[in-house]
Structure 1
Amino acid sequence: MKGVVLAGGMGKRLREISGGRNKQTVEVNGRPMIEFPLKTLGAMGCTDVTIVTSPEGYAPLKLLVDYGGQHELNVDWAIQPEPRGMGDALYQARYRVGGVFPVLCGDVYFDPAPITVIEKPLLVCHSFEGGRNHIVVDTHEDGSHEVVLRPTKANSDRAIVGYVFDEEVFDFIPTIKPSPDKNEIEFADIYSWYINERGATVADFEGMFADMGTPAGIARVEEHIRNRQA
């Protein structure tokens, strides 16, 4: 099975640490950040991975993954020419993956792997401090789900943190209108389409999750690893 890692971010929230370089090159507990989602995909059953990154991020990431990586995955690469959102980043992998495939962002940490059986589209959710900085899912009393792009205190903190898509997503992405404020292809539209039109499952992850795109997230991961090794 093949997975996808979206690793194009320049780390605005990590600028003091990253110096403006691709954030997935930042060290977390002595290892490049990119290794953690790669290991997670391996634990989910992937043998092959496409990493989508920016033109600027390609060379440093490839060096770390190809020559310093502690993984047993076959890795290939896709380039997102311009920063036009996560939906556009995923679209760059359209000729690399098929069938049903998992997708992770390059700055997420899971312990253990959130999915072990991958058969159909799935959205993995996790409630955590800072979850409202992400796209969240509200589940109503009737069991229906609503995707909220910019949640307020009234909304859930149940953030969508991992995804299983299928190749039909590549037919849907070109129909998405770019966001008016950023001119980006938002993942929120993809989530809503999967929930409302494709009947995707929404499942909660109860293990350890962290967003390593912030200094606090990195510190949490490093503390978790130290405690696990103690």
Structure 2
Amino acid sequence: MRGIVLAGGTGSRLFPLTKAISKQLMPVYDKPMIYYPLTALAQAGIREVLIITTPTDQHQFRQLLGDGAAWGMRLEYAVQPTPGGIAQAFMIGEDFIDGDSVGLALGDNLFYGFSFEEVAIDPTGGEAAHIFAVQVRDPSAYGVVEFDDAGQVHRIREKPEDPQSSFAVPGIYFFDPSVVEIAHRLRPSERGELEITAVNDHYLRRRALTVTCLPRGAAWFDTGTFTGLLDAGQFVHVVEARQGVKIGCIEETVWRQGWIDDAGLQRLAETQMSSGYGQYLAELLSEQTVRGGRR
């Protein structure tokens, strides 16, 4: 399975903050926003990831993330010339996907309290597509999962004015290789975009879609608005301060996955000591010595 992080778009909901910088490079407390979805894909066992950016922002992403070698990953880059919808990512990334299954994460989404580790074992849940649902207060701002009387998924609608459930589809999706062909066959919506909801609906009509509801204790943030960005930053700060563990720490994730060794983690720590971020990474190695291995 390969991964895509969609980090394009104008970020207009965050103007003027994002007039000169991509929203996916904005800080969510102590990390760039893109660290969080990248970590979610790494937790799912995905080591090869395509970062899709705007033409003007790509050099900044390359400067931040590099080629992924220091993390035991392979990162490639592609351009989304103009916003054309989430499903456009599969067309842009067609050569990168190269007939494999693919996990797509939106670059402005943050997850906590749910590991996508099991997705790495069976990436599509035994079906052709695997998406998630999470209960929210205002589902009309998202794609909404609607259920029938038997509790089965009945349909998925994009930003309905009259949502029939409070379960929204968060920005992480896993598909089999046929998603590329499906994306090519889509027609733009009234918004002029290739909607990810149309892709999900295609699999649903084939009875090939698995929907997993995130547990009640899980948290999901869409950080593409002022409130969402602030809420996510405060949430990360509180959890990290109370628990002493970091959320969305890609270095820790790849180390625990065994993609880099202790020496590799130490090198990453040494370059970031001044901010305290590196001290946290170094402490992971100390904890391992005390506890007798990685947790």
TM-score (norm 2): 0.71
Contact 1:177/1:185 (CA < 8 Å) preserved in 2? yes
Q: Give the one of 221, 226, 230 matched to 2:232.
A: 221
Deviations 1:105-139 (A, max 9, x none): 00000113442222222011111234321111111
Structure 1 CA distance for aligned equivalents of residues 159 and 69 of structure 2: 35
- Which SS does the other structure have where 1:63 is aligned? helix
**Structure 1 segment 1-230 matched on structure 2, within 5 A:** 1-19=1-19, 21-66=21-66, 71-97=71-97, 98-118=99-119, 119=122, 120=124, 121-142=129-150, 143-161=152-170, 162-179=172-189, 181-206=190-215, 207-229=218-240, 230=242
Provide the identity percentage: 25
Unpaired runs of at least 5, structure 1: none
Contact 1:35/1:65 (CA < 8 Å) preserved in 2? no
Deviation at 1:213, TM superposition (A): 0.7
Residues 152/20 of structure 1: CA separation in 2 closer, same or farther (3 Å cut): farther
Which structure features the higher share of strand residues?
A: 1
Contact 1:52/1:90 (CA < 8 Å) preserved in 2? no
Contact 1:23/1:213 (CA < 8 Å) preserved in 2? yes
Deviation at 1:71, TM superposition (A): 5.0
Partner AA of 1:122 in structure 2:
H
Contact 2:146/2:156 (CA < 8 Å) preserved in 1? yes
Structure 1 CA distance for aligned equivalents of residues 114 and 212 of structure 2: 13
Structure 2 CA distance for aligned equivalents of residues 26 and 44 of structure 1: 24
Partner AA of 2:95 in structure 1:
Y
Partner AA of 1:215 in structure 2:
F
Residues 144/72 of structure 1: CA separation in 2 closer, same or farther (3 Å cut): same
Residues 114/90 of structure 1: CA separation in 2 closer, same or farther (3 Å cut): farther
Unpaired runs of at least 5, structure 2: 243-295
Alignment RMSD (CA, Å): 2.2
Structure 2 CA distance for aligned equivalents of residues 172 and 13 of structure 1: 29
Structure 2 CA distance for aligned equivalents of residues 53 and 83 of structure 1: 10
Residues 115/145 of structure 1: CA separation in 2 closer, same or farther (3 Å cut): farther
Partner AA of 1:124 in structure 2:
F
Partner AA of 1:167 in structure 2:
P
Contact 2:144/2:160 (CA < 8 Å) preserved in 1? yes
Deviation at 1:4, TM superposition (A): 1.1
Deviation at 1:215, TM superposition (A): 1.7
Partner AA of 1:55 in structure 2:
P
Contact 2:67/2:74 (CA < 8 Å) preserved in 1? no
Deviation at 1:5, TM superposition (A): 0.8
**Is the radius of gyration larger for structure 1 or structure 2?**
2
TM-score (norm 1): 0.90
